[in-house]
């Protein structure tokens, strides 16, 4: 990759004095990553046009952020990064661009931080339709606006056909944690209630369906959405909230297992209370998948002290992103690090971390 780095140039480093270029090609070629005119045109016509904001407008090699403005929001900086490689790029309910924004914004928000600035780095496979790229970038801008963040710097690389799959995006983000907010898995204690903000597994099912694994007649939409507003509101209702996690890859089961392990508590889930769309349930039944392990992109799990749980739930249900919220279990003494589910049928079973990928069963 070093070689490519030398060939390419930083998006934010384009000179400020030239006229904006316009792209004429239909498809990305190696020229669009070579640092020459084609690359400038790509940056101007696709990225700057969409992401336009004061920090990016300065056209330096780095974004510059006023520290005083940050300090006004809180007393700690939250900083995170995530890469997005989803296939297909567009799926019911979302696309890679939306994911790249919401994913990073949510990683900040679940720590109690207010998300503020994002970077956007793209690795593009030669041959990608420029219209596709435009759609992704415009979707990123919409998602950023919805999340209240600005994309302040970025980078593009073009790689040979086959060296990546169409388009990979990395976003890093910074946010600020307000004074007094202190959320962490270690704070979870027996008796805390476990909440989710909505139905599980929609994203995972939407992606599998979009890949053509099943042709559902009523398609499930990805749940991808920003969670900051929801978190801000329910933290007001439940300021004692111990831990919040974004239940992305590995689903609810993995997020809850991670928390249980860190906190050294057991967790008892109640299958009856876990919200699940009937299409997703059917999808999992047919393919032999477990919805607890399906990915989500706008679903959080939160441990809240019992006495604040009802208020937290009401606060969630007040907002669109939480209208199907539910209390699905609680942290318990003993069985440290173990997640156990009381099945609707009456038995109990361990819900462990996922090993490898979920592989569909044959019979």
Partner 1 sequence: MKYVDEFRDPEMAKTLLKQIEALTLEIPKASKRPLQIMEVCGGHTHSIFKFGIETMLPDCIELVHGPGCPVCVLPMGRVDDCIAIAETPNMIFTTFGDAMRVPGSKKSLLQAKAEGCDIRMVYSPLDALELAKNNPDKEVSFFGLGFETTMPSTALTVLQAEADSVENFSLFCNHITIIPTIKAILDSPDLKLDGFLGPGHVSMVIGNSPYNFIANHYKRPLVVAGFEPLDVLQSIWMVLKQIKEGRHEIENQYNRIVPDDGNNIALQSIGKVFELREFFEWRGLGSIDHSGVKIRDEYAKFDSEKKFDLPSLKIADPKSCQCGEVLKGVIKPWECKVFGELCTPETPLGSLMVSSEGACAAYYQYGGALMEAKKAEAEKTAS
Which residues in this chain contact partner 1 in the complex, by CB under 8 A?
213, 278, 281-282, 285, 287-288, 335, 338, 340, 343-350, 352, 355-356, 359-363
CA dist 184 → 124, 197, 256, 260, 262 (Å): 36, 18, 13, 12, 9
CB-nearer residue toward partner 1: 129 or 352: 352
Shortest reach from residue 90's CB to partner 1, in Å: 22
CB-nearer residue toward partner 1: 187 or 281: 281
CA dist 360 → 86, 253, 357 (Å): 20, 17, 9
Shortest reach from residue 344's CB to partner 1, in Å: 6
Shortest reach from residue 193's CB to partner 1, in Å: 22
Shortest reach from residue 306's CB to partner 1, in Å: 24
CB-nearer residue toward partner 1: 148 or 360: 360
CB-nearer residue toward partner 1: 113 or 206: 206
In whole angstroms, what is the distance from residue 305 CA to residue 233 CA?
A: 16
The strand pairing partners of 326, in sequence order, are: 196
DSSP string, 156-171: EEEE-BTTBSSEEEEE
DSSP string, 247-308: --TTHHHHHHHHHHHHHT-EEEEEGGG----HHHHHHHHHHT--GGGS--SS-EEEEE-HHH
CB-nearer residue toward partner 1: 19 or 361: 361
Rg (CA), the chain: 22
- Cβ proximity of 211 and 88 under 8 Å: yes
Shortest reach from residue 178's CB to partner 1, in Å: 40
- Cβ proximity of 26 and 129 under 8 Å: yes
Shortest reach from residue 357's CB to partner 1, in Å: 8
In a 13 Å sphere around the CA of 308, the CA atoms on its Cβ side amount to 17
CB-nearer residue toward partner 1: 65 or 287: 287
């Amino acid at each position: 990759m070093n070689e490519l780095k030398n060939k390419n140039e930083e998006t934010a480093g384009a000179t400020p004095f030239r006229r904006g270029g316009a792209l004429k090609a239909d498809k990305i070629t190696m020229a669009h990553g070579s640092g020459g005119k084609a690359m400038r045109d790509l940056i101007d016509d696709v990225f700057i046009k969409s992401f336009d904001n004061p920090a990016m407008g300065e056209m330096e090699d780095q974004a510059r952020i006023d520290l005083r403005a940050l300090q006004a929001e809180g007393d700690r900086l939250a900083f995170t990064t995530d890469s997005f490689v989803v296939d297909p790029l567009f799926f019911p309910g979302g696309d890679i661009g939306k994911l790249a924004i919401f994913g990073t914004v949510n990683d900040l928000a679940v720590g109690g931080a207010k998300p503020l600035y994002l970077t956007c780095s793209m690795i593009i496979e030669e041959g990608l339709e420029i219209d596709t790229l435009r759609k992704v970038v415009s979707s990123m801008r919409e998602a950023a606006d919805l999340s209240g963040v600005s994309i302040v710097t970025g980078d593009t690389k073009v790689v040979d056909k086959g060296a990546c799959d169409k388009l990979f995006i990395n976003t890093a983000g910074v946010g600020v944690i307000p004074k007094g907010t202190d959320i962490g898995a270690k704070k979870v204690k027996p008796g805390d209630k476990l909440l989710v903000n909505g139905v599980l597994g929609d994203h995972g099912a939407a992606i599998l369906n979009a890949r053509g694994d099943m042709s559902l007649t009523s398609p499930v939409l990805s749940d991808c959405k920003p969670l900051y507003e929801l978190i801000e509101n329910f933290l007001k209702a439940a300021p004692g909230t111990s831990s919040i996690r974004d239940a992305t890859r590995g689903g609810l089961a993995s997020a809850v297992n991670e928390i249980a392990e860190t906190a050294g508590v057991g967790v008892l889930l109640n299958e009856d209370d876990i919200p699940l769309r009937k299409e997703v349930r059917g999808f999992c039944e047919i393919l032999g998948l477990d919805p607890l392990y399906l990915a989500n992109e706008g679903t959080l799990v939160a441990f809240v002290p019992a006495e604040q749980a009802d208020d937290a739930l009401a606060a969630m249900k007040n907002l669109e992103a939480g209208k199907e919220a539910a209390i699905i279990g609680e942290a318990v003494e003993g069985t440290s690090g173990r997640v156990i589910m009381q099945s609707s049928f009456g038995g109990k079973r361990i819900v462990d971390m996922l090993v490898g990928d979920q592989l569909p069963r044959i019979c």
